[in-house]
Amino acid sequence: MSKIKSSNLGYPRIGESREWKRALENFWSGVISETELIEKTTEIRLRNLKKQQEKGIDLIQVNDFSLYDHVLDTAITFGIVPKRFNYTGGKVDVHTYFAIARGTDGAVASEMTKWFNTNYHYIVPELNDVTPSLVENRALTFYKEAKDKLGIDGKPVILGPVTFVKLAKGYDPQEFSTIVETFVPLYIQILQELVEAGASWVQIDEPILVTQLSKEEIAVVEKVYEAFAEHVPHAQIILQTYFEKITAYEKIVNLPVKAIGMDFVHGDSLELLKTYGFPKDKVLAAGIIDGRNVWRANLAEKRTILEVVKQLVHHNQLIIQPSCSLLHVPVTKTLEQKLDNVIYDGLSFADEKLDEAVTLAKGLNHGTVSVQADLDQANEAIKQLIETYQSNDEIRKKVAHLTTADAQRSIPFAERIEKQKQRLQLPLLPTTTIGSLPQTPEVRRTRTKWRKGEITDQAYEQFVKEQMKRWIKIQEELDIDVLVHGEFERNDMVEYFGEKLNGFTVTEFGWVQSYGSRCVKPPLIFGDVSWDKPITVKESVYAQSLTERPVKGMLTGPVTILNWSFVHNTTPRYEIMKQIALALQKEIESLEEEGITIIQVDEPALREGLPLDRKKWNEYLTQSSQAFRLATATARADTQIHTHMCYSNFEDIFDCIDDLDADVISIETSRSHGEMVSTFEENTYQKEIGLGVYDIHSPRIPSVDEIKQNIKRALQTIAPNQFWINPDCGLKTRKEDETIAALKVMVQAAKEVRNKQLASQK
């Protein structure tokens, strides 16, 4: 009988103490050389592999490490570099690689967007005018490295051609099949070289197979994998999917590959298996450990599922693995010193998830008795965890009695906006920013000192006040119309609220990569959510006291707080979302009581959370808009409610955006070069809107003409009296001088267009 194997689908890149982030940022700022960057990152990569080897993972993944993003890595494997970066062929050097991701003085960065329904962002490949060729077989390089340095026969992973082309831009969708075909010989060469080097398995990731593909697209998938089977018959391919169940299961499961990887946590893959069976000649790679959440697995329950799965596959042809790459969870829980013991015992980060996979495989191979102690321990930890859940009867009752009317503003938008215009007296094409201002090393350092108790609460508060004071003045000098307090007091827009609301817990080191070197520390939700006292009022009121211009109150919305937290499944998600909404309602009321006239409730994660399975869209969108409206319903009619969204494709959720009933929305668009603008041609959006006029994730300063172009393009489809002028997103990642220079250009461009508009109205 063959042995059931344990496997991994990707290990976090960032290192236990975010040493990867520091290496990258030190390289970008010239503190370390390219050689040092390569040395440091090689060290991290090898350490990651070694850890997995020591844990006893049978199939250790290679080529999952990246210096920025794995989709960008795939692009440079094929020499896909947009023309503006002056690439002349051959292996893409590190400088060009980072230039595509971050932009340069002379060339805008490639667009970045959400990786499926996650908070990880990938760099969108641009296929216009480039002929792909295999310039570097990166999978082979990293396969050899693991073999030579650690004696690991790794399982190289490559992003499959269908997903890669689907996620790319710069081609006519009609040409999809032809474009994919151009990649097929290149993939065949990669596979051939890997087989020659001795790779036992090759994993090809095709997560696009869990989305709705057309018949023609499925035919392309079939053609591609038939070609691989024909040309590289000895490659043992694992066709890997994740994040949902496979949509065209009956077709996909019969493709000529050795193994199919499926997610057994998200979407009902078990039902597919039971209904349609699983081919005898294939191995099933079962993603049974949740790669998207941090709560400990109930191993006994998992084992029961696996016993069923085992009956459905032939002769132990089973691999046990996480449901997706562990990129989406923090590295290890062992660094956490401050967590409550019960919560600590109930957690499982990447390292612990690998232990869980190994345990389950061992139990299946050697009988449950061999792992009984682990199963009992997990069971006890989970039991303890659930017993400590803090229920809040008052909140539960409130939520239970909510009606549709509770999620409705007092009067319709058309009437509200008139009152708001009266109250705010803003110019045509008002300028504003999205909320955060540069979180300089000094700001971060001061907060870290305060957290460590090295400076007093008073000194820290004073420091934050000074930042606000300085920046209110800067914004006034720049002549921005609607100001922000800058969010200097916040570590992150979600974690900050997690620290203040009941029902949340935060970790010290639970970092997860969001994009490039930037990481987030999602809070844990384990308890009913409630609000005790004002969270943001002190800062907003102070900032407002310094100026005659309106300063926006700044909150994060219920959908985003929920989606960017690790939520335990004790309570249904929608229930928690409504609890958060009720808490935000109180915060809004507190801001209003102190005279704040504009309140922004950010929802950048609304589109991201859209289920991959279309059948689930309606419920999600209805619940999301309901929760947002509940949070903002009690706002005065003349309080202007703003919202903001970024780094997603918004076309599919346009109706939901409208349904939020926010008075003003700002949407990131500049990296997608006006694609969003065309959406407005097909829609008659009545409310006010700001389409980001410059990209904030690049250090590059835009020109006045560029911004004017962006504004003018927007004004072709949006009325001038509806339009706001703002950057794409918050400015926290930018340096101060870059920010001031870019905002100066933005205001200048706004004024030029405004004056022209006013002159033409005369």
Ligand X SMILES: N[C@@H](CCS)C(=O)O
Contact 656, 424 (CB under 8 A): no
Question: Candidates 137-145, 272-280, 601-609, 688-696 — which segment interacts with Zn ion by CB under 5 A?
Answer: 601-609
Q: Which is nearer to ligand X, 319 or 559 (CB)?
A: 559
Distance CA 291, CA 56 (A): 18
Q: Residues marked as binding?
A: 18-21, 114, 119, 434-436, 487, 518-519, 564, 602, 608, 644, 646, 659, 668, 729
Q: What's the rounded Cα separation, in Å, for the pair 110 and 698?
A: 10
DSSP at 125:
P
Question: What is the radius of gyration, based on Cα positions, of the chain?
Answer: 26
Both tokens assigned to 280: 């005898």
> Which residue among 121, 328, 642, 697 is the active-site one?
697
Nearer Cβ to ligand X (348/433): 433
Query: Which residue in the set 66, 113, 117, 436 belongs to the binding site for ligand X (CB under 6 A)?
Result: 436
Binding residues for L-homocysteine are 434-436, 487, 602
Q: What is the DSSP letter of 494?
A: T
In whole angstroms, how close is the CB of 512 to ligand X at the nearest point?
Answer: 16
Q: How far is the CB of 392 from ligand X (least distance, A)?
A: 28
Enclosing H/E stretch for 522: none
How far is the C-alpha of 215 from the C-alpha of 381, rounded, in Å?
Answer: 47
Please give the Cα distance from 185 to 142 (Å, whole number).
21
- Interface with ligand X includes 434 (CB under 6 A)? yes
Contact 495, 523 (CB under 8 A): yes
Q: Is 604 in the site for Zn ion (CB under 5 A)?
A: yes
Give the nearer residue to ligand LYWDKB7T in terms of CB position, either 149 or 445: 445
- The nearer residue to Zn ion, 11 or 496, going by C-beta atoms, is 496
121 assigned to active site: no
Are the C-beta atoms of 564 and 383 separated by less than 8 Å?
A: no
Contact assessment for residue 675 and residue 650, using Cβ atoms and an 8 Å cutoff: no
518 interacts with ligand LYWDKB7T by CB under 6 A: yes
Cβ count near 168 (within 10 Å) = 18
Contact segment (CB under 6 A) with ligand X among 289-297, 431-439, 567-575, 742-750 equals: 431-439
Cite the annotated binding site for Zn(2+) by residue number: 644, 646, 659, 668, 729
Binding mask 112-131 for ligand LYWDKB7T (x = CB under 6 A): -------x------------
Interface residue with ligand LYWDKB7T, options 15, 604, 609, 702 (CB under 6 A): 604
- Contact between 242 and 263 under an 8 Å Cβ cutoff? The reply is yes
Touching ligand LYWDKB7T, residues 454-513 (CB under 6 A): 491-494
Name every residue whose Cβ is closer than 8 Å to that of residue 684 and which is 6 or more positions away in sequence: none
- Residue 732 within binding range of ligand LYWDKB7T, rule CB under 6 A: yes
Output b/e per residue, 466-493; b: 16+ Cβ within 10 A: ebbeebbebbeebebbbbbbbbbbbbbb
Q: Identify which of residues 515 and 526 has a Cβ nearer to ligand LYWDKB7T in the complex.
A: 515
Whether the CB-CB separation of 122 and 513 falls below 8 Å is answered with: no
Q: At what angle do helices 34-55 and 350-366 cross, to 10 degrees?
A: 30
**Could you tell me the end-to-end alpha-carbon distance of the chain, in angstroms, rounded to an integer?**
86
Residue 564 pairs in a beta bridge with: none
Nearest-angstrom CA–CA distance, 288 and 297: 9
Stretch that binds ligand X, among 94-102, 219-227, 282-290, 434-442 (CB under 6 A): 434-442
Interaction partner, residue 292 (ligand LYWDKB7T, ligand X, Zn ion, none; CB < 5-8 Å by kind) = none
Among 232, 358, 554, 725, binds ligand X (CB under 6 A): 554
Q: Report the partner that residue 521 touches, choosing among ligand X, Zn ion, ligand LYWDKB7T, none (CB closer than 5 to 8 A by kind).
A: ligand LYWDKB7T
Contacted entry of ligand LYWDKB7T, Zn ion, ligand X, none for residue 435, CB cut-off 5 to 8 Å set by kind: ligand X
User: What residues have CB less than 8 Å from 184, skipping those under 6 apart?
Assistant: 161, 224, 227, 228
Query: Is 518 exposed, middle or buried, given 0-12, 13-18 or 19+ CB atoms closer than 10 A?
Result: middle
User: Is 435 an interacting residue with respect to ligand X (CB under 6 A)?
Assistant: yes
Stretch that binds ligand LYWDKB7T, among 133-141, 456-464, 725-733, 748-756 (CB under 6 A): 725-733
CB nearer ligand LYWDKB7T, residue 45 or residue 732 = 732
CB of 642 to Zn ion, least distance (A): 12
Binding residues for Zn ion restricted to 727-746, rule: CB under 5 A: 729
183 binds, among ligand LYWDKB7T, ligand X, Zn ion, none (CB under 5 to 8 A by kind): none
Residues 683, 79: Cα–Cα separation, whole Å: 38
The token pair at 634 is: 């009690």
644 binding ligand X? (CB under 6 A): yes
13 sits near ligand LYWDKB7T (criterion: CB under 6 A): no
- Using CA atoms, how far apart are residues 432 and 445, in angstroms rounded to an integer? 28
CB of 663 to ligand X, least distance (A): 17
Task: List interacting residues with ligand LYWDKB7T (CB under 6 A).
Answer: 119, 439, 441, 444-445, 447-448, 491-494, 514-515, 518-521, 564, 604, 647, 729-730, 732-733
Task: List interacting residues with Zn ion (CB under 5 A).
Answer: 604, 646, 729
Catalytic residues: 697
